[in-house]
Structure formats: structure tokens, C-alpha cells
Structure 1
Amino acid sequence: MDERKRDSMVAYLRRRMTEFGIEPDDLAAAIARDQIQQKSTKYRSAAGETWSGEGEMPQWLKQAISAGQSIEHFAVNGAAPSAPTARPGVDWSQDPFAGGRLATVQLSTSDTR
């Protein structure tokens, strides 16, 4: 952004702040609160819902996990899950096709007809 556009934007923001009675200290306090909340946020949904990882897991996250989504998908800044979720495992050691040709063959679109 060039200097003239920047100065114009600053003047506009100052005028609007005066119009609504917002002081620079109010703005600084709001920014500080937002930064504190962002630091404590470990999980965020696409809709903007957040969870710090403390207390009971929120409903939006419970529903996503029960639908098959991993908690890591919602992690903010590489946050690790607060408690590993136990997923029912499958014992592939007894599967006769595991690692075999049938398990690794990719079907082309012509093979699926």
C-alpha cells in the first residue's frame, strides 16, 4: 500500500473512531483481549467456534469427531490434542488381503463399469 492510501485510511479510521466515541486506549484493550484469546485457542472450527482444550469438549467438536473427523483437523498452530481419543482399532495382522495385491490395486474408471 502506498503512503497516500495509508494516510487516507488512517484519517478515515480516526474519523470513524471519533464518530463512535472510541478512544485509542479502548482499541488497544480490545486488541490485547483478542491476542490473549488467540493464544489460549487450541481448536477452531470453520465457523469460527473455538475451544481452549480445557473443560468439557464443546458440542461442535464432539459432533465433528463422532462424524469421523480427527481432532487434529481443528488444531490451531499445530496444537496437539489435549487427550488422545481412543478409536476402535482393526487388527490387520489377521486380514488375508492386507498388504497383498488386492489391497493395493487402484481401479481405473474403465474398470468400475
Structure 2
Amino acid sequence: MDERKRESMIAYLRRRMAKVGIKMADVAAALAEDRMGQKLVRYRNAFGDTWDGKGAMPQWLVQATSAGQTLEHFAVAAAAKKPATQRRPAVDWSQDPFAGSRLASGSRA
């Protein structure tokens, strides 16, 4: 977003906030509250369900651990430790036994 569009958006938001009666302190308090809520999350699944690690384990996590998944798999801190620049290994498709077949092209005919 270029600077002119950014400034225009900020001006628009300030006008709308003034019209509704929202103050910058209200927005800052809401953002701080959101950040605090995010810090409390210790476990998260692929559907966005979370658990802070306190109280009874939620049903989604009970089912997953009963099925053999580890608790560490869902840990939020574990995801942050992975390097952001990790790349998938290159695949050598020259030895693909399905090259040129219907399986390779994805056709369903």
C-alpha cells in the first residue's frame, strides 16, 4: 500500500471513529487485550481451537491424544521455534514412473 492510500485510510478511520465515539485509547486497550489473550494460548489445533493449559483438557485435545497424537504437537511455542526460512527439499521428477500417464495429469477420464 502506498503512502497516499495509507494516509487516506487513516483519515477515513479517524472520521468513522469520531462519528461513533471511539477514542484511540479504546483501540489501544482492545489491542492490548487481544495480545494478552494470545499469550495465554499454549495449544492450538488446525481448526483454530485453543487451550491455555489450565483446567480440564478440552475434548478436541483429549480425542487427539487418545488417538496417539502428542501434546507437544499442538504446542504453540513449538511452532515459533521452527526457522521461518526452512524450505522443502527439491523433488527429482525425472524418475517418476507415472510421468505421461493419466495419474500424472490428474484427469479422471
Fold shared per TM-score above 0.5: yes
Q: CA deviation at 1:51?
A: 1.2
What letter is aligned with 1:51? W
Larger-Rg structure: 1
Between the aligned partners of 1:19 and 1:63, the Cα distance in structure 2 is 48
1:55 counterpart residue number: 55
1:96 counterpart residue number: none
Change (3 A) 1:77 1:16: farther
Q: CA deviation at 1:78?
A: 2.0
Q: Under a length normalisation based on structure 1, what TM-score does the superposition of the two structures give?
A: 0.58
Q: CA deviation at 1:48?
A: 2.3
Gaps of 5+ in 1: 80-108
Gaps of 5+ in 2: 80-96, 98-109
Between the aligned partners of 1:45 and 1:18, the Cα distance in structure 2 is 39
State the Cα deviation string for residues 32-60 of structure 1 (Å, max 9, x = none): 11111111211112232221112211112
Moved over 4 A (4+): none
Q: CA deviation at 1:7?
A: 0.5
1:24 counterpart residue number: 24
Q: CA deviation at 1:12?
A: 2.4
Tell me, what secondary structure is at the counterpart of 2:69?
coil
Change (3 A) 1:5 1:39: same
Q: Under a length normalisation based on structure 2, what TM-score does the superposition of the two structures give?
A: 0.60
